[in-house]
Structure 1
Amino acid sequence: MRKFLVLLDDSQESLNAMRFAAMRAANSDGKVLILSVIPTSDIQHGFGVADVMRAEAHERIEAHYEVYAKWMRARPKVEPELIIREGDPGEELIRLLHEDPEIGILAIGLNSSDKSAQNPILTRLMRETNLPCPITIVPSDLSKERLETIT
């Protein structure tokens, strides 16, 4: 089974990457993996604060994920899988790509309206010389109709 991996973050561009991955998975009998990474810098350490912050981050991620998962289950009829990790988002993304040989495509959203914006994850991936799968860059301004045509 081919898996489509998408990085879930708070950006608008991740929405189209999710849609693309779900539609492609539905059309190819694949699966969608959604990775969300809690940056270690977001977790303060000491006296139980880290545990509370970690729990709050998990709750926020799971609530965000459920919005996308509900649509995936209803529309393209795909059951996504959520993976939550802590660390550097770029490093964790690359680590997961190497850990799971069934991942066939990494879908990354790109903010196409702000030409000056840098995507740190995409920049990190471009420096990687040993990626085990192709990257599909999904522009944030593609319409749902256009995505359906492409997938």
Structure 2
Amino acid sequence: MRKFLVLLDDSKECLNAIRFASMRAAKTDGAVVILAVIPADEIQHGFGVADVMRAEARERIEAHYEVFAKWMRSRPGVEPQLVIREGDPAEELLAQIAEDGEIGIVVLGLSADKGGQNPVLTRLLRDPLALPCPITLVPGDLSKDRLEAIT
């Protein structure tokens, strides 16, 4: 089975990346892995605070994920898998691919804002040979109808 890997974050372009991956997975008998990364610098260490912050971050991620997962289950009929990791998003994305040999495509959303930066994409393109699978870039400003037409 081919899996599409999508990075879950708070960006609006993430929504189109998830839509695209879900629709492609549904049409190709694939699956979708949603990767959420808790940045290590968001966790303050000491006196049990790190565990509380980690738990709060996980709850926030799971609530965010469930909104997308509900749509994925009902519309394209895909049961997504959530993976939560801690560290640098680009490094954790590469680690997830290395650990899951069924991941065949990374799907990233692109900001419609010309000044917008995607640090994960920047990192991946710095050493494109480190990525053992293709990257699909999905513009964040594509309409739902256009996404459906191209998937």
* Alignment TM-score > 0.5, same fold: yes
Partner SS state of residue 62, structure 1: helix
The structural deviation recorded for 1:34 is 0.2
The structural deviation recorded for 1:15 is 0.4
What residue in structure 2 maps to residue 117 of structure 1?
116
Give the TM-score of the pair, scaled to structure 2.
0.97
What residue in structure 1 maps to residue 42 of structure 2?
42
What residue in structure 1 maps to residue 27 of structure 2?
27
Q: What number of residue pairs does the alignment pair up?
A: 150
Structure 1, 119-128 or 55-64: larger mean CA deviation = 119-128
Q: How far, CA to CA, are the matches of 1:115 and 1:56 in structure 2?
A: 33
Identity, % of aligned positions: 73
Partner SS state of residue 79, structure 1: coil
The structural deviation recorded for 1:148 is 0.6
| Aligned residue runs from structure 1 range 91-106, under 5 A | 91-106=91-106
Q: How far, CA to CA, are the matches of 1:116 and 1:74 in structure 2?
A: 35
Give the TM-score of the pair, scaled to structure 1.
0.97
Partner SS state of residue 82, structure 1: strand
- Deviations 1:73-111 (Å, cap 9, x if unpaired)? 000000000000001111000111122121111000000
Partner SS state of residue 5, structure 1: strand
The structural deviation recorded for 1:13 is 0.7
Partner SS state of residue 65, structure 2: helix
Q: How far, CA to CA, are the matches of 1:100 and 1:16 in structure 2?
A: 23
Listed as ranges, the gaps of 5+ residues in structure 1 are none
Q: How far, CA to CA, are the matches of 1:55 and 1:67 in structure 2?
A: 19
Partner SS state of residue 77, structure 1: coil
Runs of 4+ in 1 over 4 A off after TM superposition: none
Please tell me the root mean square deviation across aligned C-alpha atoms, in Å: 0.7
Q: How far, CA to CA, are the matches of 1:36 and 1:61 in structure 2?
A: 7
